[in-house]
C-alpha cells in the first residue's frame, strides 16, 4: 500500500469517544436480550475508563457524595447569618400582580447557575445525558442534592422556623441557602473530574435485567 493510501485513512485521533458512547447508548436501546445489554454496558464502561480526558459522562454514587459535601461546605457559613431572614422577607414581600418576582428570579438564577457551571464553562467537558428523554440527569441530580442540603441544614439547625415565619417565607429561606448549596454542589461534582465506579443508571438497569 502506498504512503498516500495510508495517509488518506482515518487515524485514531479522528475518532471521538463521545460519538462512540452515544452510539452505544442507542445500541443498548435496540438490543433485545439482557445479556446483549450487559455486553454493551461493559463496552461503554471500558471506553469511559480511557485516561487523559477532561470529559465527564458517568454519574456515580461518588458524584452524589461529592455534590453533597460541596453543598454543605458552601451553605454552612450562611446558616448563622440573619441576613438570610431579611432576604427571604424581601422575596415574599416584593410582588408584582401578586407574583413574588424576586423569588421566581432567584429560583431561575439557581437553575441557570448550575446549568452554566456544568455545561457551558471550560472547567470540564460534561456530556449531557437525559433523564426521561428531556431532563439533563446531572443537572437534576445537583439541583435535588443541593435543595436537600439547604432544607435539611436549615431544619436541623433550627433556622427554618425561627421567629415564626409563614410557610412561604420558610420556602424563601430555603431558596436563599439553596443558591449557595447549588454552587458548592456543582463545583464539588465536576472539579474532581470523572468518578470511578459504575454509572447509577447502569446499576439500576442491571438490577432490572435480573
Cα separation, 79 vs 180, whole angstroms:
10
As to burial, measured by CB atoms within 10 angstroms (0-12 exposed, 13-18 middle, 19+ buried), residue 12 is exposed
Mind listing the pLDDT tens digit for each residue in 162-187? Answer: 999 999 999 999 999 999 999 999 99
pLDDT band at 94 (very low <50, low <70, confident <90, very high): very high
Under DSSP, is residue 185 helix (H, G, I), strand (E, B) or coil?
A: helix
Give me the pLDDT at residue 92, please.
96
pLDDT mean across residues, the chain? 81
What is the band of 88 on the pLDDT scale with cuts at 50, 70, 90? very high
pLDDT band at 61 (very low <50, low <70, confident <90, very high): confident
In eight-state DSSP terms, residue 136 is E
Structure confidence by residue, pLDDT tens digits, 112-122: 999 999 988 87
Amino acid at each position: 500500500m502506498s504512503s498516500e493510501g495510508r495517509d488518506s485513512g482515518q487515524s485514531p485521533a479522528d475518532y471521538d469517544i463521545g460519538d462512540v458512547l452515544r452510539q452505544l447508548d442507542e445500541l443498548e436501546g435496540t438490543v433485545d436480550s439482557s445479556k446483549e445489554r450487559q455486553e454493551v454496558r461493559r463496552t461503554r464502561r471500558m471506553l469511559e475508563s480511557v485516561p487523559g480526558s477532561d470529559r465527564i459522562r458517568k454519574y456515580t454514587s461518588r458524584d452524589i457524595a461529592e455534590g453533597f459535601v460541596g453543598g454543605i461546605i458552601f451553605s454552612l457559613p450562611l446558616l448563622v447569618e440573619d441576613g438570610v431572614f431579611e432576604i427571604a422577607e424581601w422575596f415574599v414581600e416584593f410582588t408584582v400582580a401578586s407574583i413574588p418576582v424576586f423569588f421566581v428570579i432567584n429560583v431561575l438564577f439557581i437553575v441557570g447557575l448550575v446549568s452554566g457551571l456544568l455545561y457551558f464553562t471550560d472547567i470540564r467537558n460534561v456530556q449531557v445525558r437525559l433523564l426521561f428523554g428531556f431532563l439533563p440527569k446531572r443537572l437534576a441530580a445537583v439541583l435535588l442534592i443541593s435543595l436537600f442540603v439547604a432544607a435539611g441544614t436549615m431544619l436541623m439547625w433550627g433556622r427554618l422556623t425561627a421567629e415564626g415565619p409563614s410557610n412561604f417565607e420558610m420556602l424563601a429561606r430555603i431558596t436563599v441557602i439553596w443558591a449557595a448549596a447549588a454552587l458548592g454542589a456543582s463545583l464539588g461534582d465536576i472539579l474532581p473530574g470523572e468518578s470511578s465506579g459504575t454509572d447509577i443508571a447502569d446499576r439500576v438497569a442491571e438490577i432490572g435485567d435480573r
